Structure 1
Amino acid sequence: MTGDTAGVRGGHGLRSLGLAAQPPTYEALLDWWTYLREEQPVHYDEELGNWHVFRHEDVAAALADHRTFSSDMRDLIEQPEAFSKVAQGAFLGFDPPEHDVLRSLVSKVFTPRMIQELEERITGISDGLLDALGGARHVGFVERYAYPLPLTVIADILQIPVVDRARFRAWSDALFFQGRDGEPVLVATAEMLRSIDPLIAEMNAYFLDVIRSRRARPGPDLISRLATVEEGGQRLRDEEILGVCGFLLVAGHITTTMLLTSSVLLLHEHPRAAAALRADPSLTAGAVEEVMRHRGQLPAAARRTTREVVLRGRRLPKDSVVLLWLAAANRDPRVFPDPARFDIRRTPNRHLALGKGIHYCLGAPLARLELRVALAGLLRRWRHFTPGGEVTYEDPRHTIGAREIPLEVEWAAGGAG
């Protein structure tokens, strides 16, 4: 096939190879990833004007090469005032040395030990949410469990009053979806960012007020620790701490919520896996990794080329926007035998759901802990669960997961509290 926009021949049924032409369903994107991973693993999308990369080897190499595939898009996309303010601490979108300075300071506070010490608290939150269901047979899973669990954890870490937590959802959605709505783009335009700027301004004002208060009267919470941490005479500015708070709202909330929805749906689809986890909870950590591989929450990571680069015979100009399809890489049969199979015992499991290289997800230990505790809790309390109505999914071009899952639940003996 010669043209990138030519129709696909064969049994795949794709009429065009552009992302915008694909229906916004997971199954449709899976067909698209599968076809292009084999036929055009490096593909130029003429309509969107960016490049797509699909194979595990290429995605992993690009993620690890920040000098060639930069995360910094600031020169390509004009950021409105409020968004640019919170972006000052979004070190995942920076390159060294700016990235290294900020990440090092945040890492001194957001440590694996601190995360591990949260296990008892997360278990208590999980148990409390399940107790509050009162043995109900009809459960709105997202609203009653998958959304409030990680939100409560993040609010606890930041020590945000309960009455303010309802505002987090609008802010985190604005930061994550960035005004894209139904548009088939993963990198937001300046116009899209302007549409959410009023919400971001509201969030900025709230957190900057909290940050200044904690600087004056620091406590044991994460914001106070970020306000006082120092390394080599360097400290975080208020706007940089604001960016970390925004990162936690997205990475610590939406990420875990989406993965929890995928976990429940996958375990419903694979009852033997659910039975194995109930019989042997030590398998839960491996199950979490397989959920991330099989149906991870982030379909792709965006990068910008800092120079002209040739990848699988395709010449990518400098300043090209490249979408590294993590979800396609995690289904690559060159790395994962029988990749369509959901296998909670899969070893090794070299998935890329949480990134690779200097931008590997700082919140990965927290996400893994929350998922492990949350799944163990509901499997212990629920003997059986199945969707009891229509599941509403997010647009998988932006994130993979469900917005609403009405569940029919059968409680284990004594599980209703």
Structure 2
Amino acid sequence: MTPPPPADIAMPSMDMPDIRPSLPGSYRTIAVPRAGGSVWKKMGAFAGPGYIVAVGYMDPGNWATDLAGGSAFGYTLLSVILLSSIMAMVLQSLAAKLGIVTGMDLAQACRAQYSTPVRIILWVMCELAIIACDLAEVVGTAIALQLLFDIPLVMGVCLTAADVMLILFLQQRGFRQLEAFIVALLIVIAGCFAVELFLSKPDLAAIGMGLVPSASVVTNPAMLYIAIGIIGATVMPHNLYLHSSIVQTRSFERSEKGKREAVLFATVDSTIALMLAMFVNGAILILAASSFHVAGMTGVAEIQDAHRLLAPMLGAGIASTLFAVALLASGQNSTITATLAGQIVMEGFVNLRVPAWLRRVVTRMLAIVPAVIVAALYGSEGTTRLLVLSQVILSLQLPFAVVPLVKFTSDRALMGSFVNPHWLKFAAWAISAIIITLNLKLLLEFFL
């Protein structure tokens, strides 16, 4: 018999007695100072989930789209990174609020509010997004292993299956230790690109101009394809499910005041973390623009080519090594978050609970098989195209996560006094409209 949910979880309007705490092994395991506690201590207690979410915004799939955009179009697509980062900040704050206020993650809310056929469709679409994300991690990690240790691509892809053991080890150490490991790798990535930017000496005026939106992004089909890939790589659908779950690892007061504090601190946490992700994404594009585009190398879209050319272009041998180290750290970090998201989605949508190692093995195999085939048949050029395509697939899945999230957080019956104010409803639906419109335009370009 399914145990009843904890008494302090707000249940949805539909009768769903089988909804249990999201990530039950980590649910409310991190203490938060109670009323009267230091603001800084409370902020420190809530710091962490935002950085786990930020990992998905700088995974290897971003590298391919940012490199392609920077080398082909210079600094122009910086405006797309800025816009998509702002979209991400808004949507992730809504995901955190949904989890804190209702006690349900986004997948559980969909199961509670939608009919069985609808939630099955949403589940399948989300699983496709996770597989696409995992595909990017597999390819990115394999490329990093090849660049650092000269391991063949096919063998590197196969070796990525071993990261199941890393994830199991980290999960057994506790959620706070998992967060610390992820933050450490994020520091490595950001540090590597800070050095790369110093060496590349980019044009600051051109960076400022690149942050201003340009009509050519929409009118140029090649630029639009990469722009949508950047949006898909930045606003990631499974991250919305992930964030609405992991904010519940904090043991905050379930009063209205306690929830408001939790929403505020969770929003600050995710916004700061996503600013770090925006820096990394922008740094990759700026590096490609300042190193390759200005030299007339507009076709540098492969990570391997960028690695090979960076050292001679920047006049520093360490440039290529730092690039590969950051790529490896990015791949490993993204592996962890994709595993957590997969567990949350499967349990939330269909209440199917399987061992973490089994879930990870199945997901990783679904990513490894196409990656091995492409690597064996087409080599590095094929794997890079696979990376960019995986990000476009992610972008096409976005409406299936964004629309329910905005709908639920705008529903007063579900959110009570925490319902989105009118200005936020307008902004959130506008973001949804932009994403859907861009996706439809991409599909028309593809078929016509």
TM-score relative to the length of structure 2: 0.27
User: Whose helix proportion is higher, 1 or 2?
Assistant: 2
TM-score relative to the length of structure 1: 0.29
Higher relative contact order (CA 8 A, sep 6+): 2
User: Whose strand proportion is higher, 1 or 2?
Assistant: 1
